[in-house]
Amino acid sequence: MFDKHISVNRIMTREVLHISSTDTMDRVSEIFKMNDVHHLPVIDDGEVVGIVSTTDLNKVTHHFTLFKVSNADSVNTSVLRSLLVREVMTKPVATIGVATKLTTVAAIFRENLFHALPVVGANRELVGIVTPFDLVNYAYNTDEMLIESE
């Protein structure tokens, strides 16, 4: 069984793509298309100020496709070029520190239905991100190591 009391810094993703609040949503769309990520922390002046997800992007783009508007793609492109991240992002964003225990992280995910938590340092600078996938991956890999050692 895995250790639920380790700190999140043991399982978090350290190399995190991010954007600024003045970026446009078409930049967000491109980042999501080109990378295997579903959440982008929003960084202004070195601090985490929000987060934007594929769900946020889908809410913006699917209004026109939902109603089968004939020029939905061109309308979506125009909308994404005109919307700034700060107009769509979730703010304030819930963040955790590097010493936060996995039990706390799991509780936050369960209670709030978040799918990503930026991990911040002492000055709210982004140092990583953790998702439910990271928890599952840690649990799976730990259990696999235990089975192999038996």
Per-domain residue ranges for the chain? 8-149
Phi, psi of 43 (to 5 degrees): -115, 125
Measured distance CA(32)–CA(118) in Å, rounded = 17
What's residue 140's pLDDT?
82
Q: How confident is the model at residue 1 (pLDDT cuts 50, 70, 90)?
A: low
Q: For 109-127, what is the mean pLDDT?
A: 91
Residue 76 has a pLDDT of 72
Beta pairing partners, 24:
84
Residue bearing the bigger pLDDT, 74 or 63: 74
pLDDT score, position 68: 62
Residues 6+ apart with CB under 8 A from 90: 50, 51, 52, 53, 56
Residue 148 confidence (pLDDT) above 60: no
Question: Is 96 in a helix, a strand, or coil?
Answer: strand
In CATH, what number does 8-149 get? 3.10.580.10
